[in-house]
Amino acid sequence: MSVAAATLEEHLRSARAGGGRLLIPYVMAGVVPDWLDLVRGAAEAGADAVEIGLPFSDPMLDGPTVQHAAALASRRGARPRALLDALAGLDVGVPLIVMTYANVALTLTPSRGVGGFVDHLAAVGVRGVIVPDLPLEESAEYLACAAGADVAAVLLAAPSCDEDRCREIARASSGFVYCMSSMRTTGERAALGASARDTARQLKGVTDLPVVAGFGISTVDQAVDVCADADGVVVGSAFMRMLLDGAPVSEVVDAVSAFRRALSSVGG
Active site (catalytic) residues = 51, 62
Of 235, 159, 168, the closest CA to residue 200 belongs to 159
C-beta of residue 48 within 8 angstroms of C-beta of residue 73: no
The C-alpha atoms of residue 73 and residue 244 are separated, in whole angstroms, by: 11
End-to-end CA distance of the chain: 22
The C-alpha atoms of residue 141 and residue 120 are separated, in whole angstroms, by: 16
Beta bridge partners of 179: 157, 213
Q: What are phi and psi of 174, to 5 degrees?
A: -140, 155
> Alpha-carbon torsion 233, 238, 242, 244, what sign?
positive
Beta bridge partners of 233: 23, 213
What's the CA angle centered on 106, arms 104 and 108, to 5 degrees?
Answer: 60
